[in-house]
Structure 1
Amino acid sequence: MAEQWHGRRGAVVVVGLVAGVCAGAGVVGCSGGGAAAGEDARAGDPVEALHRAADALRAAGSSKARTSMEMATGGTRVTIRGEGVYDYRRQLGRLKVMLPQDPAGTSYHRPITELLAPGALFMKNRGAGVPADKWVRVETAELSDGNLVTGGATDPLAAAEVLRGARAATYVGRTEVAGTSVRHYRGTADLAVAADDASEGNRGSLAAAAKGFATARVPFDVYLDDEGRIRKVRHRFSFVNGKRADAVAVASTTLLYDFGAPVDVRLPAARDIYAGRIAQD
């Protein structure tokens, strides 16, 4: 069944990462899948499994991550990719985010280093007038998308905590992700519900997203290993781009692997944070 999203003004991407490539997009549909009941008796209640996913990541401690964010712009699909590490107990992560070339392939964007922290996003190599040795700090609860799409990557723990808002889900069946046997679940999460049940570090951000997106409903596909940890999750977000009436569709995918990997993330000192005006790309 396809769902068409309309609604209030959605995520205004203030730092320009997504706004620069989202000139417009079509509407993404959400198709339901039949539950694979009986295929795996250990699958249990899908909703309960999804609600525990963030806790399973905290128990794991840390992991490496790969991210991708896909958008349709003017009939052309573009993808922003990221790679890094995340500490789920401290809620700290580091990603190197690669922006795409423009459709003509004539411009090159340096990788942007992003530090993820409770309630904040730090970016280096932001460009647009920011000195090369300075960081830009953004308060995620002040973003209309809660930084689920602003930085060009979804915070891995926030991606898991979105699943706390799942109220209906189906177990699709067994498959593999990067050689690991996983259970595939599909459903829709409510961002407002997720915010109520989220950790303190993500509560404000998810509440902002619930109000700022074109709809608080987020279709997802998620793949959990036998320890309940997310190996892959794909969310489909929808927001209104500026003055356009059409909802912009953004598909965010997060891959998690190498659990227990060492993570050394140090947040910038106050003197290293840029305090000037940020130009829009």
Structure 2
Amino acid sequence: MAGRRPRRTRIGDAVVALGVTGGLALGGVSGCGRSGTAGGDGDGGTAAGEVAAAVREAADALVDSGSSRARTSMELATGGTRVTIRGEGVYDYRKRIGRLKVLLPQDPSGASAHRSVTELLAPGALFMKNRGAGVPADKWVRVDTGTLSDGNLVTGGATDPFTAAELLRGARSATFVGRTELAGAEVRHYRGTADLREAARVASDGDKGSLGAAARGFATAEVPFDVYLDDEGRIRKVRHRFSFVNGEREQPVAVASTTLLYDFGAPVDVRLPEAGDIYAGPDRGGTTGRSAGE
């Protein structure tokens, strides 16, 4: 973005939270009206206004659906090194809570095997279990997502499914690519660019802080995306591409975050940790546990 001074953000922030190793880091709804342009006949709306409306309203369609299962994939690349972090779980779009089991990549040296981290997603907070780095196995680490320079779009190794949808509320431009089929569902493919600052301005209260933090922390507020919507306007797949500076070396880090949503209406039973279950001391990753009430 012209005239915007790049902001330094440490991949370590994202890295530290998960403990991934090797160069990259180991470590309420807006209420806007539904246009219905994602459904109906023909091309699903190819006029610029219809396309933008369909994309921006995708988060509302998820709330209408109630819940779903989700698969996530996050690819990080810098300096010729690439790692992929995968996750799977469920999400309740009305209560804004979810659970993912995130599988960390193997240590590049081969010294350690794949390790899974259980994550609970809630408005303004990320809870992690099996965090490692000095945290007792039976304790959770709580992170205030509004304090993260990436707003937890990257830190957890998976983008919160509803935050990924709310980011699309900031769609500055979008084009209709065409119709296709995804996992047996007819979908419409849209491509465009979202603005983090606009997304933060119109997001629900639970995402204003995290998206605002990302807008301030990333080198650019512009986020390219590809999204696939079904005939009910629900996201079946969304892919965001982020780029930011890697610590003191200022190496650009390319991050591609993909979220697949399916089995809408699936039961979701997620209970957030009690205060006594949250680790309150520093760990070797540099984060400090905080109680659920903080």
- Answer whether TM exceeds 0.5 for this pair: yes
CA contact 2:106–2:115 (8 Å) conserved in 1:
no
Residue in structure 2 matching 1:226, options 224, 231, 236: 231
In the alignment, what sits opposite 1:142?
A: 147
Mapping of 1:65-214 within 5 angstroms? 65-214=70-219
Q: How far apart are the structure 1 equivalents of 2:81 and 2:217?
A: 25
1:40 to 39, 42, 60: 42
2:13 is matched with which residue? 14
Calculate percent identity across the aligned residue pairs: 71
Residue 44 of structure 2 contacts residue 188 of structure 2 at CA under 8 Å; is this kept in 1?
A: no
Q: Structure 1 residues 15-24 or 178-187, which shifts more?
A: 15-24
Name the CA distance, whole Å, in 2 between partners of 1:18 and 1:43: 41
In the alignment, the residues of structure 1 paired with residue 136 and residue 228 of structure 2 have an alpha-carbon distance, to the nearest angstrom, of 40
Shift of 1:246: 2.6
Equivalent pair of 1:22/1:71 in contact (CA under 8 Å): no
Contact 2:228 2:238 in 1 (8 A): yes
1:10 is aligned with what amino acid?
T
- Residues 280 and 62 (structure 1 numbering): CA distance in 2 closer, same or farther, change over 3 Å? same
Runs in 1 of length 4+ with deviation above 4 angstroms?
Answer: none
| Structure 2: gaps spanning 5 or more residues | 26-40, 287-294
With normalisation by structure 1, the TM-score equals 0.89
- Equivalenced residues, count: 265
2:265 corresponds to which residue?
260
Identify if the C-alpha distance between structure 1 residues 21 and 187 changes in structure 2 by more than 3 Å, giving closer, same or farther: farther
CA contact (8 A) 1:231 1:257 kept: yes
RMSD (CA atoms): 2.1
Note if contact 1:40-1:173 (Cα within 8 Å) is conserved in structure 2. no
In 2, distance between residues paired with 1:21 and 1:215? 26
The residue type equivalent to 2:197 in the other structure is: A
Q: TM-score, normalised by structure 2?
A: 0.85
**Partner secondary structure for residue 134 of structure 2:** coil
- Partner Cα distance (1:239, 1:127) in 2: 26
Task: State the AA in 1 paired with 2:152.
Answer: N
Deviations 1:82-107 (A, max 9, x none): 00000000000000000000223331
1:19 and 1:241 in contact (8 A); partners too:
no
What residue in structure 1 maps to residue 251 of structure 2? 246
Cα distance, 1:13 vs. partner?
A: 4.1
